[in-house]
Structure 1
Amino acid sequence: MSSPRPHFLVLTFPFQGHIAPALRLARRLLAEAPDALVTFSTTEDAHRRMFPAKPCDGDGAKVATDEHDGRLEFLPFSDGTETGILPNMAFNAYLASFHAEGARTVAEILDALAARGRPVTRVVYTLLLPWAADVARDRGVPSALYWIQPVAVFIIYFHYFHGHGTIVAEHRHDPSFVVEFPGLEPLTIGDLPNFLTDAVDPSNIFHNVFNTSRDLMETLDKEGPKATVLVNTCQELERHALAAVGAIDVLPVGPVLPSGNVSGIFKQDDAEYMEWLDAKPENSVVYVAFGSLATMAREQVDELLLGLEESGRPYLCVIRKDIKVALADAEAEMLHERLKNGMVVEWCDQVQVLSHVAVGCFLTHCGWNSVLESVACGVPMVCVPGMSDQRMNAQLVVRDWRVGVRAQVDKGGVLRAAEVRRCIDEVMDNSEAAAEVRQMAGKWKQIVEEATGKGGSSDRNLMAFVDDGARSAV
């Protein structure tokens, strides 16, 4: 009897910031292994948003395939809800349901794929799914964690749950307190992911994220020497952090950027913004986007647009539909009336925008996907970090790579117009400091191109992982 084909089951949490890198990795796996199969799986609600049903489809097909000759299949699992995560839903309760139903239905998917003659030979799972490794282990299938944040943040989480948690917990209310993790430069409490400071409190709305992060590190401990962690970075970007990882098999395989069709849970605006960019001079446009989760109150929208207008530069600003809806109708109507130099869209193809020669600066929340995309495109950044890994990501941008500046918010957490203007000037004017930032951005762009190109460090690491998956199939 012939051996099964290598078959990767890629599992991810139903946030756009998780779906995007997971789906990009799925397509990279297909490109690296022409004989491999990939099944991509997220929750039913996210799946429906990625593949809206046509009228004749009823509730939509459970299985969707794409252009890879049937080698890439989309098959959702259940999170125990009918509607997915709702804005007013208690996140701790949602995670409990997600863990229980996710583990049960992913087990069913593994069994069903085996019954169809497409047995899974490797499970790949992203953050917040520690149970995926247990489900895979129960069926004798090896697994790998796909860490979609920097290696430096992985080290913070690892050491927090391996001896350094006590000192962080004791000083978690002092953002200026300095803590040292093996292999990293000294960090303040304020630089750490808020899931390791604020979410320690059982009453915090993200407390189950803290618990899940602990479970994830315990899962890696259970895997022991067999534990494999793929990281969406390249060794050149985080050489010192990678040297401090220790015995865990960490493979930097990124930055993993889009290829082929771009699927996601947000509908893009019509591409009029690309025509708008085409009419702008080289390196003149400020691109502004704060990701798929960050919210903005009316005061912040007002200050942001005022600062952009007063900068005197053309700008393309993403203000999601849900943020517009949160504004009063009259305020939403006034939004476009305030625009003299810029254009506002609800969503866009970010890599396409960052790749455009007209874009000279990215005002960003510093989500890791956005940071990597900006580095890969050689665009300097103005960093406005919020939660999770974003503050550490900003440290990498400003301190380690010197490709951007960090904006300061006021005591109320609002980014003021004057600070918007100051930071934009700092990376886009004619000063020596701005010229150095642009030079460094160009340097890192070339380094990333080499790492992800044929024979580069990330390409070699991914190929080694694929080869290991092929051996697992035998």
Structure 2
Amino acid sequence: MATRAHCLVLALPAQGHINPILQFSKLLERQGVRITLVTTRFYYNSLKTLPPSIALETISDGFDNGGLKEAGCFKAYIERFWQVGPLTFSELLEKLGGSKDDDDHVDCVVYDSFLSWAPEVAKRFGIVVAAYLTQNMVVNSIYYHVHLGKLQVPLKEDEFSFPAMPKLYLEDMPSFFFGEDSTFLDFEVSQFSSIHKADWILCNTFYELEKEIVDWIVKVWPQFKTIGPNIPSMFLDKQWKDDQDYGATEFKGEECMEWLDDKPTGSVVYVSFGSVASFGDEQMEEIACCLRECSSYFLWVVRASEETKLPKDFEKKTEKGLVVTWCSQLKVLAHEAVGCFVTHCGWNSTLETLCLGVPTVAIPYWSDQSINAKLLSEVWKIGTRALVDERKVVQRETLKHCIKEIMNGSKEMKNNAIQWRTSAIRAFTEGGSSYENVKEFVNNLINSSVHS
């Protein structure tokens, strides 16, 4: 009796990485692939939900009781994880070994490309490997050029030209190029140290969004496929009614949907800067004053750890505005009351706003967000970038002008946003670029599991 192909999905233990790779796992599962998600022991304990059809296994990062916080700093965390992770992952593959007829036998490992040690471990067990890139191809290409030695650090030019990409300037480059500590930059670049060992290279983007760079990279990596945007079906192609959230979260609870229901179409400014950005008191005050002085309604997500930075006289709930510590971003962006998204431009948030057709005001914080802000404002043209002053602060008047530009006009941005939403949906309809690439990946996976 034939068994289903079994995929282990190895995710970096962070919400922004687990969400999209788990969503991709759902796509594989719908086409008959059995999925086991693998995360760290500490992160496993913080997960509130997981789709019941997806099995869960754990490995160690060396800090089973506290993860990154227990390590004390990112460098110490990575150094220990890179020692312990491969060993415990190897033990897991040994446990799941067995014969081809065994249900637990692993046919493929899909790994977050940042876990660059995974291909070597999997190959020792004769398992085929797929790298999963969580950032867009413009960003990936920049770091790949550093890996190749074609982009030197520290940066000595003011502008940069890469194959099949828009011209980039110093202010567009990822923040990790400018830090005194190279840990984060080295980490970003290291994902390409073993990518040549992958049988497939998959990226959470879609062809229509990055045609030129995808056409270029396929010549370098023939095994490359775009398989995104990896967001729940009910916010994209609406083919799977039970797929209304990512399915793995550290957070629960909402209080904003009823508040939005009472607001007119396109009247609310949604403000959220993700799970990492930590603005200073001055920037928080400028945002707060802008929202209070704007004529639009606003919904602002402020993490509990950041609430003390709000001005003391700032009310968290009024007829005009609501401040919450968490919300379902997809549900908010899909709500007809939302007319503008003020965002840090993390890649997941960028894909979500593209898929749901919401114009943006970009306030990038770190990492790849400056690049994403440039793409949103200058290439895809669905938003505007709020410029910072000499202290790297976006002043309230600057932000007010950006919000007003979108809320009171900018038909071009709104039309472009609708067009990109249509393109994202088309990518996942039958015959679409991502739909066909996922189907091809599954067929190859099934064939390789049968014949190996």
Q: TM-score, normalised by structure 2?
A: 0.91
- With over 3 angstroms needed to count, the CA separation of the structure-2 counterparts of 1:334 and 1:102, relative to structure 1, is farther
Q: Which amino acid aligns with 1:256?
A: N
> 5 Å matches for 1:136-175?
136-166=122-152, 168-171=153-156
Asked whether 1:239 is paired with 2:238, we answer no
Cα distance in 2 between the residues matched to 1:388 and 1:170: 16
Classify the secondary structure of the residue corresponding to 2:150. Answer: helix
Asked whether 1:100 is paired with 2:83, we answer yes
What is the Cα-based RMSD across aligned positions, in Å? 2.1
Larger displacement relative to structure 2 (84-93 or 401-410)? 84-93
- With over 3 angstroms needed to count, the CA separation of the structure-2 counterparts of 1:261 and 1:229, relative to structure 1, is same
> 5 Å matches for 1:20-39?
20-31=19-30, 33-34=31-32, 36-39=33-36
> 5 Å matches for 1:434-449?
434-449=410-425
Asked whether 1:302 is paired with 2:267, we answer no
Cα distance in 1 between the residues matched to 2:163 and 2:124: 34
Residues 164 and 181, structure 1, Cα contact 8 Å, conserved in 2:
no
Aligned to 2:41: 44
> 5 Å matches for 1:262-411?
262-270=246-254, 272-324=255-307, 327=308, 334-336=313-315, 339=318, 341-411=320-390
Aligned to 2:235: none
Aligned to 1:192: 173
Aligned to 1:122: 108
- With over 3 angstroms needed to count, the CA separation of the structure-2 counterparts of 1:305 and 1:287, relative to structure 1, is same
Classify the secondary structure of the residue corresponding to 2:131. Answer: strand
Cα distance in 1 between the residues matched to 2:414 and 2:244: 29
Residues 231 and 246, structure 2, Cα contact 8 Å, conserved in 1:
no
Cα distance in 2 between the residues matched to 1:407 and 1:127: 31
Classify the secondary structure of the residue corresponding to 1:316. Answer: strand
Asked whether 1:218 is paired with 2:189, we answer no
Cα distance in 1 between the residues matched to 2:190 and 2:411: 45
Cα distance in 1 between the residues matched to 2:135 and 2:316: 38
Q: Which amino acid aligns with 1:85?
A: L
Unmatched segments (≥5 aa) in structure 2? 233-242
Cα distance in 1 between the residues matched to 2:320 and 2:250: 26
Cα distance in 2 between the residues matched to 1:179 and 1:227: 31
Which digits, 9 at most, give the CA deviation of each residue in 1:186-233, with x for residues without a partner?
A: 2123322223x135x5xx1xx333333343212023x2xx54211111
Residues 288 and 311, structure 2, Cα contact 8 Å, conserved in 1:
no
Aligned to 1:470: 446
Unmatched segments (≥5 aa) in structure 1? 53-64
Classify the secondary structure of the residue corresponding to 1:251. Answer: strand
Aligned to 2:183: 208
1:457 to 433, 436, 440: 433
- With over 3 angstroms needed to count, the CA separation of the structure-2 counterparts of 1:401 and 1:314, relative to structure 1, is same
Classify the secondary structure of the residue corresponding to 2:59. Answer: coil
Cα distance in 1 between the residues matched to 2:370 and 2:5: 38
Q: Which amino acid aligns with 1:240?
A: E
Cα distance in 2 between the residues matched to 1:113 and 1:353: 41
Q: Which amino acid aligns with 1:251?
A: K
Deviation of 1:256 after TM superposition, in Å, equals 0.9
Residues 75 and 183, structure 2, Cα contact 8 Å, conserved in 1:
yes
Residues 80 and 97, structure 1, Cα contact 8 Å, conserved in 2:
yes
Cα distance in 1 between the residues matched to 2:360 and 2:271: 10
Which digits, 9 at most, give the CA deviation of each residue in 1:230-264, with x for residues without a partner?
A: 11111000011112212302211111112355434
- With over 3 angstroms needed to count, the CA separation of the structure-2 counterparts of 1:352 and 1:260, relative to structure 1, is closer
Q: Which amino acid aligns with 1:458?
A: S
- With over 3 angstroms needed to count, the CA separation of the structure-2 counterparts of 1:340 and 1:417, relative to structure 1, is farther
Q: Which amino acid aligns with 2:35?
A: V
Classify the secondary structure of the residue corresponding to 1:165. Answer: coil
Which digits, 9 at most, give the CA deviation of each residue in 1:53-91, with x for residues without a partner?
A: xxxxxxxxxxxx7333xxx11222211012111198211
Cα distance in 2 between the residues matched to 1:338 and 1:51: 27
Deviation of 1:47 after TM superposition, in Å, equals 1.3
Aligned to 2:8: 9
User: Percent of counterpart pairs with the same letter?
Assistant: 34
Residues 289 and 319, structure 1, Cα contact 8 Å, conserved in 2:
yes
Residues 351 and 373, structure 1, Cα contact 8 Å, conserved in 2:
yes
- With over 3 angstroms needed to count, the CA separation of the structure-2 counterparts of 1:100 and 1:276, relative to structure 1, is same
- With over 3 angstroms needed to count, the CA separation of the structure-2 counterparts of 1:112 and 1:51, relative to structure 1, is farther
Deviation of 1:338 after TM superposition, in Å, equals 7.9
Aligned to 2:201: 229
Which digits, 9 at most, give the CA deviation of each residue in 1:252-295, with x for residues without a partner?
A: 1111112355434432333x311111111111110111011111
Residues 361 and 424, structure 1, Cα contact 8 Å, conserved in 2:
yes
Classify the secondary structure of the residue corresponding to 2:149. Answer: helix
Classify the secondary structure of the residue corresponding to 1:244. Answer: helix
- With over 3 angstroms needed to count, the CA separation of the structure-2 counterparts of 1:74 and 1:437, relative to structure 1, is same
Q: Which amino acid aligns with 2:183?
A: N
Cα distance in 1 between the residues matched to 2:110 and 2:403: 39
Cα distance in 1 between the residues matched to 2:438 and 2:387: 38
Q: TM-score, normalised by structure 1?
A: 0.87
Classify the secondary structure of the residue corresponding to 2:36. Answer: strand
Q: Which amino acid aligns with 2:52?
A: E
Residues 317 and 323, structure 2, Cα contact 8 Å, conserved in 1:
no
Larger displacement relative to structure 2 (116-125 or 302-311)? 116-125
- With over 3 angstroms needed to count, the CA separation of the structure-2 counterparts of 1:343 and 1:87, relative to structure 1, is farther
- With over 3 angstroms needed to count, the CA separation of the structure-2 counterparts of 1:7 and 1:86, relative to structure 1, is same
> 5 Å matches for 1:247-266?
247-248=220-221, 249-258=223-232, 259-266=243-250
Deviation of 1:391 after TM superposition, in Å, equals 1.1
- With over 3 angstroms needed to count, the CA separation of the structure-2 counterparts of 1:154 and 1:9, relative to structure 1, is same
Residues 285 and 361, structure 1, Cα contact 8 Å, conserved in 2:
yes
Aligned to 2:161: 180
Cα distance in 2 between the residues matched to 1:269 and 1:333: 25
Aligned to 1:427: 406
Larger displacement relative to structure 2 (421-430 or 2-11)? 2-11
